[in-house]
Amino acid sequence: MSLTDSNAVDVARSASLASRQLATLSNEARNEALTLLHSALDKNRATILAANKKDVELATQAAEDGTLNHSVLKRLDLSRPGKYDDMLEGILSVRDLEDPVSCPIGVLLIIFEARPEVIANIAALAIKSGNAAILKGGKESTGSFAAIATVVSDAIADSQVPVSSIQLVKTRDAVSSLLAQDSFIDLVIPRGSNELVRHVKENTKIPVLGHADGLCSAYIHSDAKVQTAVKVIVDSKTDYPAACNALETLLVHESVLESILPEVASALLAKGVSLRCDQQSLEVLKKVVPADKASQISSATDTDYETEFLDLVLAIKTVSSAETAITHINTFHSGHTDIIITESSQEANRFMNSIDSAGVFWNASSRFADGMRYGFGTEVGISTNKIHSRGPVGLEGLTIYKYLIRGDGHGAADYHDGVGGDGNRCNSTLPHMCLRHHLHEV
């Protein structure tokens, strides 16, 4: 990985050239590079964490001053229990995946905020899939990025992977210039705030893979089990509130307002969650919530049901049926991940088929929407697109198709009757199956 101040054209052009070299490397050569990368990041853990600590200290002051969102601060900290080890594990999990049979996309531009571990994630996935990657991080984690970039660069230099396959751009005005390099860059992946993603989509001709919001919803059906509802909802909301797969809206069937909702609310309140409720749910909870928790309950506004809080805040709404819940979710959600809690397979299947999201879960936490948990290894992000990749984008999501035909002087006329054809037709009624059949025999 090179930490560069070069202009956007030079960066993009060198990445394009490197991607062609990288695509010709064997799976063994790519895996060797990932082994070196893992070892180098493990060996230099103390140095990287020290740099990250300085970033976190500055970011903490910015958050206290109100100039930085607290959710960004949480994502920045590499010292959070298990986070550094998860980053290292992600590299090995990608290394150990089967070699993707499809061809690489080419050059990826990844623009991200906070999350220093993204550098290692992207480097591993790009190398394994045969793509070159250009990374531009946020100013809040400059020190962390520089430390990781140096380590990764040294590791790659000892492998067969071209150093310019992974470049970290540090100039402040690089984003707009890079977004104009559609001749060299094949895909942009923005990871960060809604504003960042929307800015990228509105300012480039390059295809963009990403999501602007992680507005995840859960619906508790009339036949749900209390224990299931409590466990799934609490984990979805509190396991990591700053993540894009954290729960933001809870829809409750009116028949379980007094039986299940109080139990769920009690568990959420104990975790420090503030509940913003519609009138029906608010009236129920006011009767059962103890006085010392009353301040955590308030009336919801219309905008609460279309807000990604990224914090210990949850909007609650009462619905009269599964159909009403489905309509609400398809109207206000972001297409990320949504949940139904029910004991009915019929209701679950209807809900899962009706919700237009990248992930729809039955009696399972929204936090499962993650590349590692899906078995993809680490991920470059989660896509809510409806073409190419959708959901957590791992190794397979960074490849596309290339059709390789090996013949022996074959021509198109060899496969049809009539003028110019030789009558050598396949028994199949599908023309493309004829070509497949005959070429298979070559």
Return the pLDDT at 58: 93
Q: Phi then psi for 23, rounded to 5 degrees? A: -65, -20
Q: Phi then psi for 136, rounded to 5 degrees? A: -130, 115
Helix (H, G, I), strand (E, B) or coil at 395: coil
Kindly state whether residue 383 falls inside one of the protein's structural domains: no
Instruction: Report the CATH number at residue 52.
Output: 3.40.605.10
In which domain, by residue range, is 55 found? 2-202
- The half-sphere exposure of 213 on its side-chain side, counting CA atoms within 13 A, is 16
Q: Write the DSSP string, 45-100.
A: HHHHHHHHHHHHHHHHHHHHHTSS-HHHHHHH-TTSTTHHHHHHHHHHHHHTSPPP
Instruction: State which of 349, 372, 395 marks the end of a domain.
Output: 372
Return the pLDDT at 215: 92
Instruction: State which of 152, 167, 202 marks the end of a domain.
Output: 202
Mean pLDDT on 216-237: 98
Q: Phi then psi for 360, rounded to 5 degrees? A: -135, 120
Return the pLDDT at 441: 44
Sorted by sequence, the CB contacts under 8 Å of residue 316 that are 6+ apart come out as: 249, 250, 251, 252, 261, 265, 275, 276, 277, 278, 281, 300
Residues 120 and 161 in one domain: yes
Residues 226 and 342 in one domain: yes
Residues 222 and 188 in one domain: no
Number of Cβ within 10 Å of residue 347's Cβ equals 18
Residues 280 and 426 in one domain: no
Single-letter amino acid, residue 145 = F
Residues 78 and 17 in one domain: yes
Kindly state whether residue 400 falls inside one of the protein's structural domains: no
Residues 57 and 192 in one domain: yes
Kindly state whether residue 387 falls inside one of the protein's structural domains: no
Residues 189 and 250 in one domain: no
Does residue 185 register a pLDDT over 80?
A: yes
Q: Phi then psi for 299, rounded to 5 degrees? A: -75, 140
Which ranges in 256-410 belong to alpha helices (H)?
261-270, 279-288, 322-332, 345-354, 371-374
Q: Write the DSSP string, 191-244.
A: ES-HHHHHHHHHS-SS-B---S---EEEEE-TT--HHHHHHHHHHHHHS-TTST
Kindly state whether residue 280 falls inside one of the protein's structural domains: yes
Residues 27 and 152 in one domain: yes
- Between the alpha carbon of residue 169 and those of residues 109, 112, 125, the distances in Å are 10, 12, 18
Residues 190 and 233 in one domain: no
Does residue 127 register a pLDDT over 60?
A: yes
State the Cα–Cα distance between residues 284 and 318, nearest whole angstrom. 11
Nearest to 167 by CA among 185, 181, 149, 179: 149
Kindly state whether residue 395 falls inside one of the protein's structural domains: no
Nearest to 21 by CA among 163, 155, 178, 134: 163
Residues 161 and 235 in one domain: no
Residues 109 and 158 in one domain: yes
Mean pLDDT on 148-161: 93
| Beta-sheet strands, E only, within 320-425 | 337-341, 359-362, 381-383, 391-393, 399-400
Kindly state whether residue 211 falls inside one of the protein's structural domains: no
Give buried/exposed letters for 303-323 (b at 16+ CB in 10 A, else e): ebbebbbbbbbbbbbbbeebe
Length of the chain: 442
Kindly state whether residue 176 falls inside one of the protein's structural domains: yes
Does residue 39 register a pLDDT over 90?
A: yes
Mean pLDDT on 368-382: 84
Nearest to 397 by CA among 56, 57, 128, 184: 128
Identify which has the larger pLDDT, 264 or 4. Answer: 264
Return the pLDDT at 100: 83
Mean pLDDT on 334-361: 96
Return the pLDDT at 440: 45
Angle formed at CA 112 by CA 4 and CA 368, multiple of 5 degrees: 140
Per-residue pLDDT of 232-242, as tens digits, reads: 999 999 999 98
Mean pLDDT on 233-255: 95
Kindly state whether residue 349 falls inside one of the protein's structural domains: yes
Its sign, for the CA torsion 301, 307, 312, 314, is positive
The mean pLDDT of the chain is 89
Residues 357 and 418 in one domain: no
Instruction: State which of 175, 202, 229 marks the end of a domain.
Output: 202
Nearest to 247 by CA among 269, 216, 219: 216
Return the pLDDT at 28: 96
Per-residue pLDDT of 274-331, as tens digits, reads: 999 999 999 999 999 999 999 999 999 999 999 999 999 999 999 999 999 999 999 9
The pair of structure tokens assigned to 350 is 């209807």
Return the pLDDT at 428: 45
Does residue 2 register a pLDDT over 70?
A: no
Mean pLDDT on 61-83: 87
Model confidence at 159, in pLDDT bands (50, 70, 90)? very high
State how many domains the chain has: 3
- Bridge partners of residue 166, in order along the sequence: 133
Instruction: Report the CATH number at residue 253.
Output: 3.40.309.10
Does residue 202 register a pLDDT over 60?
A: yes
State the Cα–Cα distance between residues 415 and 432, nearest whole angstrom. 10
